[in-house]
Amino acid sequence: MKIRDTVHFQWYKTLFVVVLLGLCLYTSIRATKADFGQLVTNIGQVNAFLTKLSHPDFNYLPRLVDPMVKTLKMSALGTVLGVLLAIPFAFLSTTVVTGNPVVTHVFRFFLNIIRTIPNLLLAALLVAIIGIGEATGVVTIAIFTFGVTSQLIFESIETIDYAPLEATAAVGANRLKTAVWAVWPQIASSVLSYTFYAFELNVRASAVLGYVGAGGIGVKLNEALGLFRYERVSVIILFIFVIVAVVDNVSESIRRRLK
C-alpha cells in the first residue's frame, strides 16, 4: 500500500461526510421550521419546570404502589399471552416446519403487519374499542409481544440442528410430531429467554401505555401532568425508574443462567 492511500491522506473523505451531514441537518431544520431561538427565549420556563421536578413529593409514593402492581400484572399477563400466541405462528412462519413456502410467506406477511403498528397507536385504538382500563393494556401488550417474539422464535427455528428432524422423518413422524419432538426441545430455552426479554420491554411500555388510558401507573402520570403537579410527576418517574431497573437486573440474571 502506498503512503498516499493511507488514512492520513483521506481527509477529503471525512470533510465530504461532515459537509453532507451539515447539509442534511440544515435541510431538516428548514423543512421542519424548527426554531431553536424559542429554546433560548423560554429558558425561564425550563428552569421553573426543572425546579418543580427536582422536588419530588415522596408522601405521594404509597398511592403509587397499587397502580405499579397493576402495571406489573398487565406486563406479566400480556407477555405470557403474547408468547403463547406467538409460538404456533412462529412455527408456521418457517419452511423448516411447514415445508411450504406459500404458507410461510403468508404468515410472515401477517406478522410484518402486526409489527408495523406502533404501541401507542394500538393502545389508543383499543381504548376506543374496549375502553379505559387494565384489560386494554393487557391486550395491547399481548399483541406487541406476539409481534416481537414470533420473529425471534422463527429465526431461532431456522438455525436449529437438522439432524433430529431427519431422524424423526426417517421413522415416519408427521410434521406436528417433528415440530414437538425435534424442533421444540432445541428452542425451548431460547423461547424462555425471549419471554423474559419481552417482559422487560413491556414493563417500560406499560408505563407509557397507561398514559393513553390503558391502565396502570401511566394513568397516575397522566393525571399528575394534567394537574401540573410536577412534584408528583417527579416521584412517579423515579418510582418507574427503580422498578424498571430491578426488573431488568432480575430478567438479565435469569436469561444469563438460561444460556
167-215 per-position pLDDT tens digit: 888 888 888 888 888 889 889 888 988 998 889 888 888 777 777 767 7
Check whether residue 46 and residue 83 sit in a common domain.
no
Beta-strand ranges (E) seen in 108-257 are none
Other Cβ atoms within 10 Å of 173 Cβ, number? 16
Average per-residue pLDDT in the chain? 84
Residue 120 CB partners (closer than 8 Å, separation 6+): 208, 209, 212
Check whether residue 138 and residue 214 sit in a common domain.
yes
Check whether residue 61 and residue 92 sit in a common domain.
yes
Check whether residue 129 and residue 96 sit in a common domain.
yes
- Cα angle at 171 between 165 and 174, to 5 degrees? 65
Other Cβ atoms within 10 Å of 194 Cβ, number? 24
Check whether residue 68 and residue 41 sit in a common domain.
no
Check whether residue 251 and residue 234 sit in a common domain.
yes
Q: What share of the chain is helix, strand, coil (3-state, %, to 5)?
A: 85, 0, 15
Q: What is the DSSP letter of 133?
A: S
**Residue 177 belongs to domain spanning:** 57-258
pTM (2 d.p.) = 0.79
Give me the number of domains the chain comprises. Answer: 2
Q: Of 30, 51, 72, which residue constitutes the final position of a domain?
A: 51
Check whether residue 187 and residue 120 sit in a common domain.
yes
Q: Of 35, 51, 67, which residue constitutes the final position of a domain?
A: 51
Check whether residue 118 and residue 212 sit in a common domain.
yes
Residue 125 CB partners (closer than 8 Å, separation 6+): none
pLDDT band for position 42 (50/70/90)?
confident
Check whether residue 63 and residue 110 sit in a common domain.
yes
Check whether residue 84 and residue 47 sit in a common domain.
no
